[in-house]
Structure 1
Amino acid sequence: MNGLVPEQLLAAQKAGVESTFGFLTKAFEGLEKLVELNVQVVKATLAENQEIVAKAFSSGDLPGLFALQTSQAQPVAEKVRSYWQHVYEILSSTQSQCAAAAETHFKQFQNEAQGFVDSITKNAPAGSETTVAAWKAFVTTASETYEAAKKATKQAVEIAESNANVVAAGANGTAKRAVVARVKEAETKSSE
């Protein structure tokens, strides 16, 4: 065999380690964004709840308290929908960055593997056709498997996005119905 094979293997291992750390870095950046979002949400929620409690204590009448509670239902539903939309955007962005890096890495691997197989083919001793054919089949199978996984991942992302949109639409409708019911309830109690 060729003396370059160990160098190729060493280069492939180095590239694999570098790509692994690249993926981990991208995943950690996504996690950082989620943590930042959650910190913002907690700060905003605490401030809003403090304001609501202060208003509740200053409101001396029961209908005013119901009206205050009712007025918060729609904004809370919107905030929940917005929060999950941000979470989806962060996860989607992180996934697409990782997918792009994986695509680049896989194409590089595919080219290197093809070069390796070509090198083996040229330098293979007589009678090793079966081994060379096995390497070629491996490269072909790896390429086909990657393409199938890529399509499945794309479909899963599309389904998740569709489900997120349906849930958001349903949450908005539920919140609107709850607000209308609370307003009617508060009006009924205040007219009694």
Structure 2
Amino acid sequence: MLTPEQVTATRKASLDILFGLGNKVVEGVEKLAELNVQVTRSTLADSFDLAQKALSVKEPQDWLALQDSLAAPTAEKMQSYRRQLFDIVLSTQAEFAKVAQTQCEAYVRQMQSVVEDVAKNAPAGSEAVVAALDSAIKAAHTLVETVQKTSQQAVEVARSNLDMAAAAASGDTKRGSEPVSQAAKR
């Protein structure tokens, strides 16, 4: 049984964890807000520049060339935004994963301590039950470690796919804008 002091300590630790995670969420939201403000400012500046350039266009081919010159940079900016957004989400998720791993390890240690206490006080002949309980705890810990490794691999695959999509989109945009450039030159 837990003593009142242990219950109080457990509650305090849980509250500390809760507020720590809350702070990580707020930090993630701050980073996201800052990223969105940067993107908004950049978009406004780009729109102003485009409007200024559009006012000076006199020929249709110049208009096509102007549009063509914007395609690749716009695609690259979108990919950059997605990558930064992904990084913000990933760093916030990593903080949650660290806390979960720490809590899981503490729980496993606590359960192993309980099993050891049970083994010390168990009647003769109950070794098989204690061994089965210990084995179940170790299996659960192994499962949690496997899930964490799999999650990390999934994140790495997602990041790799994002990078490949960015490279492909950038290449497609450049290739797609070449015919427009050729037409504008005629």
Instruction: Check conservation: 1:121, 1:132, Cα contact below 8 A.
Output: yes
Give the distance between the partners of 1:23 and 1:113, measured in 2 at CA: 24
Equivalent of 1:116 in 100, 106, 114 = 114
Which blocks of at least 5 consecutive residues in structure 2 are unaligned? none
Structure-to-structure mapping, 1:112-191, within 5 angstroms: 112-124=110-122, 132=130, 135-188=133-186
- 8 Å CA contact retained: 2:61, 2:183: no
What is the RMSD of the two structures over their aligned residues, measured on CA atoms? Answer: 2.6
Q: Counterparts of 1:4 and 1:42 in 2: how far apart (Å)? A: 54
Contact persistence 1:81–1:168 (CA under 8 A): yes
The farther-off stretch of 149-158 and 94-103 is 94-103
CA shift digits 1:94-152 (9 cap, x unpaired): 23232223222322222222223223333446787677556534422331221121121
Contact 1:27/1:94 (<8 A) preserved: yes
Q: Which residue of 2 aligns with 1:99?
A: 97
Say which of 19, 24, 27 aligns to 2:25: 27
Closer, same or farther: CA 166–80 of 1 in aligned 2, 3 Å: same
Equivalent residue number for residue 86 of structure 1: 84
Shift of 1:177: 0.9
In structure 2, the partner of 1:58 is: 56
Shift of 1:34: 1.5
Number of residue pairs the alignment of both structures matches: 186
Q: Is the 8 A contact 1:74 1:176 kept in 2?
A: yes
- TM-score, scaled to structure 2: 0.83
Aligned 8 A contact 2:28 2:92 in 1: yes
What is the one-letter code of the residue matched to 2:37?
A: V
SS at match of 1:59: coil
Residues 19, 105 of structure 1: 8 Å contact kept: no
* Superposition TM-score, scaled by structure 1 size: 0.81
Measure the CA separation in 1 of the matches of 2:11 and 2:108. Answer: 14
The residue type equivalent to 1:118 in the other structure is E
